[in-house]
Amino acid sequence: MDMIIRPVLEIAKLAWGPIGRRIGYIKNLKKNMKELDKHDLFAARDDVLDKINSNKPNGVCNKWLENVKQIEDEVKGIREEFEGDKKCLIGRCPNIYSRMKLGKRVEDIIKEMTDQSKKRLEFDGKELPDAPLEKVLLQNVESNSLTATERTLKEILMFIEDDNTKMIGVWGMGGVGKTTTMKLLNDRLEGSPAFEIVIWVTVSKAGNRRNVQNVIADRLKLSELASDDQLKASVCKALRKKKFLLLLDDVWERIDLSDVGIPPLNQVDGCKVVLTTRSLKVCRQMKTNEDVKVETLSEDEAWNLFIKSAGDVAMTSDIKQFAEGIVKECGGLPLAINVVGSSLRNNADVVVWRYTLRELQSPTTSENEDMEEKVFPCLRSSYVLLKDDSKKKLFLYCSLYPEDDEIFINDLVEYCWLEGYIHGVRSIEDARDKGTLHGNWSR
């Protein structure tokens, strides 16, 4: 009898371990939620922020702050789910599986919070970088060896180094390369000793004060606040303690910076604002100190960019005359050149090149100087040149995304597969694989 009972007991012990843990997740949920609320990690984070408010944190400290922000978001989600579960339990049987999963999440996040609290001690008193801030130095490059974008960037950097220049306007017609220049500026100064923080905000035509505030607050790692005025005060307080560079891209109308929470630039030493807009009038309304016009590309620059997009096929004897005509019709606009060049890439069919040039030379296109009227025929040509109906539908589907939205190819493939635009695949996995192989569909 003992020979039978003993193995059964051993099996029961082995089985009870996992079962007991799961029961513990449910049993200890309320107690662990109280422990979660009493944890001192976020208080430690606030202490660190107080220490570094007027300085730039080093890499270790900055990474720790990012980790704590992720934990804070997770804790917020846990609290919302816990409160939701409590409401659902009134007069009903609890969802055991849901409570068990929530209990495990709480235990895991408490462990992570404790680990991060220990990591805080590793850099206590060492939150700041050793090197002092230095002034940005311009590279000594001959102006005639620079591209249009590089010349514009150099001019902006020159104004940034000028102590008397607080706000710089960068203007020019759409598609001329203002955003590209701003991205280069951001990459050049992000993490450099010139500024403690570089903040990028894409304003766009539909932009509003709260959206701008939210982007700045997120970059400053500020807690979520209910009212615009509270957020304005918090943004202003944080920026007064930092040497910042604020990059406002695609501004369509005047923005009251003080209403957003930006402190007066003459009261914060070394801080700058750079904005891009299509209109010089907006620069005037924003009271910029200096304005930089982004010019269209020269003939040589436009041709070189087109060759990069279209490939060497554009230089073959029977196609070159059409290629040169197409580049001329693009009017030196990088956006138009890239769109048309990419759609013609490595296409050796002379008929296609002749048709594209004829489309761009239509009276409604060549006589209108407005960027949208210039670029639209280029987009239309690139659409017409797509070889199958699926790609055309995918092209049109991309136009449904809001302005300035980032399009992720996996998401796009899933949406289009569900819409029935992607054929010849049996599952969503096959659709994703096809999307990866043909990633240029979304370009």
pLDDT tens across 260-298, in order?
A: 899 999 888 889 999 999 999 999 999 999 999 998 889
pLDDT of residue 58: 67
Phi, psi of 420, deg, nearest 5: 85, 20
- Name 44's Cβ contacts closer than 8 Å, sequence gap at least 6: 117, 120
Average pLDDT estimate for 143-150: 66
pTM of the model: 0.57
Q: pLDDT band for position 368 (50/70/90)? A: very low
Average pLDDT estimate for 309-334: 92
Q: pLDDT band for position 363 (50/70/90)? A: low
Average pLDDT estimate for 405-424: 73
Q: Cα 97 to the chain's mean position, in Å?
A: 37
Instruction: Give the dihedral of Cα atoms 156, 255, 288, 175; nearest 10 deg.
Output: 40
The residue assigned the tokens 């899933």 is: 414
pLDDT of residue 94: 54
In whole angstroms, what is the distance from residue 82 CA to residue 99 CA? 9
Q: Pull the structure tokens for residue 439.
A: 């990633």
Mean pLDDT of the chain: 78
Between residues 175 and 416, the one the model is more confident about: 175
pLDDT tens across 161-202, in order?
A: 888 999 999 999 888 889 989 999 998 888 788 888 999 999
In whole angstroms, what is the distance from residue 42 CA to residue 67 CA? 11
Q: Which domains does the chain have, with CATH numbers?
A: 2-122 (no CATH), 146-293 (3.40.50.300), 297-385 (1.10.8), 387-443 (no CATH)
- Name 212's Cβ contacts closer than 8 Å, sequence gap at least 6: 201, 203, 248, 255, 260
